[in-house]
A = this chain, B = another copy of it.
Amino acid sequence: MERNTRQRDAVLGALEHAGRALTPSEILELAQGTVARLNLSTIYRHLHALQDEARIVKVLLPGQAARFEAACGEHHRHAAHHHHHFHCEACDRVYALHACPGSMQDLAPAGFVVSAHEITLRGLCAECSRGSAR
């Protein structure tokens, strides 16, 4: 269905190589190292396609533009692994957290049906806290 183009490889490659969630502009910068005339529209189009194929996941954080990360499982027979994110306030990078405290049903009032929850942590990543604390 999808053709293998240099643009597509560049977008997917950038995400897989980064190992963290990237914004479309970050992807553009990285991928332009491979495909100089690459355009943001093309990036958005591949981001949609790659989501449909479950190769990548959209990461939405409160008050932040959308980011995208490579899907965790190499083999995507399993549903995407449920996880949360950490946003570093110093370097503005976003890291996946591989823990989850479990259901949050009890936070909601009676009568409310909770079908999903999202947790976002903010603070300083290891790299930035090393710089500022010491």
Contact = CB atoms under 8 A, between A and B. Distances in A.
A109 B89 contact: no
Contact of A121 (B60, B104, B130): B104
B101 A86 contact: no
Q: Is the interface of A mostly helix, strand, loop or mixed?
A: mixed
Q: How large is the interface on A (under 10, 10 to 19, 20 to 34, 35 or more residues)?
A: 35 or more
A123 B115 contact: yes
Interface string A57-101: 000111100100000000000000000101001000001010111
Contacts of A117: 119-122
6 contacts: A84-B107, A95-B109, A95-B112, A112-B125, A113-B124, A114-B121
